[in-house]
Amino acid sequence: MSVIHQVPEGHVGVYWRGGALLKTITEPGFHMKMPFITQFEPVQVTLQTDEVTDIPCGTKGGVMITFGKIEVVNRLHKESVYETLLNYGVEYDKTWIYDKIHHEINQFCSSHSLQQVYIDVFDQIDEKMKDALQVDCTRYAPGIEIIAVRVTKPNIPENISHNYEQMEEERTKGLIAIEKQKVSEKEAETMKKMAISEAEKNANVSKILMEQKLLEKDSARKQEEIENAMYLAREKSLADADFYRVIREAEANRLKLTPEFLELKFIESIANNTKIFFGDKIPNIVLDQRLLGNFLVEEVSRGETPKMKADI
């Protein structure tokens, strides 16, 4: 009835004049219209969630079930508002979401058993509904975009629900037993790994100790070889020194065997003789110094000490 009206944020303004939809689309804010002649309606163009409740359907086996709530997240594109409302009106979502969900759910249930709908393929219903809605919207109402579909667990007859609860309880027990077995296997595997690790550690320690002993033996052997080499070198040095001393003494002795030295020794030997002989016939001693010298040289060269005895 008023001239001035407001378009809320997230919406666009749509107008009818004399029942005919106008192509005028207004943005959020205050606008003016002709009262009594022009009607105004805000249309949401942001994300919105439509809730479809109490959807009955029959499975392939003839069991009636009910989906308590299915949520459809959708959006109407701003540039397609005029075409969509021109073809399907302001309640376009009733045609392409509410009614379409009922149709698709019944189609799905009629081709699947209760076991499949309730358990086996329940996790696939969301995507199947989304794809089915989007295919028809793209074909007939391209301005509508289906973002997501959320399906709640259907309500099934109480006696069947009790059976499923028992089955789930048994399944849970089986899963618990399997998990316990996995835990036991994991513990056994852990103990095995710990034993292997401990054995490897002990083996490494033994290897290190053995290598240490071998190094000690090798070090002792090398030390003994060095000591033996030092001993041999010392003994060889001593032997060489003794040999050199003997050679030098022999050379010195040869140098001493001069006629003068032999004469001196001869005189000393005669002087040290304490035997005195008396008589008429005392043998004459004729000494040839050259023969005596040769005799002494031969004695020394044979390694014997010359012994001379003079009788007076």
* Domain 45-156 classification at class level: alpha beta
In sequence order, the 6+-apart residues with CB closer than 8 A to the CB of 161 are none
Q: What pLDDT does 152 receive?
A: 92
Highest-confidence range of 57-66, 139-148, 201-210, by mean pLDDT?
A: 139-148
pLDDT of 274 over the 70 cut: no
Q: Structure pTM?
A: 0.53
**Helix (H) or strand (E) run with residue 211 in it:** helix 158-256
Binned at pLDDT 50, 70 and 90, residue 245 comes out as confident
Question: In angstroms, rounded to a whole number, what is the distance separating the alpha carbons of residues 46 and 138?
Answer: 18
Q: What pLDDT does residue 286 have?
A: 43
Given a cut of 80, whether residue 215 has pLDDT beyond it is yes
Q: Residue 66: in which H helix or E strand, if any?
A: strand 64-76
Average pLDDT over residues 23-38: 90
Q: What is the predicted pLDDT for the residue at 103?
A: 94
What distance separates the 2 farthest-apart alpha carbons in the chain? Answer: 202
Give tens-digit pLDDT for 77-132: 999 999 999 999 999 999 999 999 999 999 999 999 988 898 889 999 999 999 99
- Degrees to nearest 5, angle at CA 103 with 101 and 106: 105
Range of lowest pLDDT (96-100, 160-164, 197-201): 160-164
pLDDT given for residue 42 in this prediction: 94
CA-wise closest residue to 13 among 60, 48, 45: 45
Domain boundaries, the chain: 1-44, 45-156, 158-241
Q: In whole numbers, what is the pLDDT of the chain averaged over residues?
A: 84
Question: What pLDDT shows up at residue 277?
Answer: 55
Query: Across residues 191-219, what is the average pLDDT?
Result: 89
Q: Which helix (H) or strand (E) holds 126?
A: helix 125-140
Q: Is the distance from CB of 37 to CB of 18 less than 8 angstroms?
A: yes
pLDDT per position as a tens digit, 293-306: 555 555 555 555 45
Mean pLDDT for 17-28 is 91
Once rounded to an integer, what is the mean pLDDT over residues 51-79? 92
Instruction: Please report the pLDDT score of residue 299 as a whole number.
Output: 57
CA-nearest of 285, 103, 234 to 95 is: 103
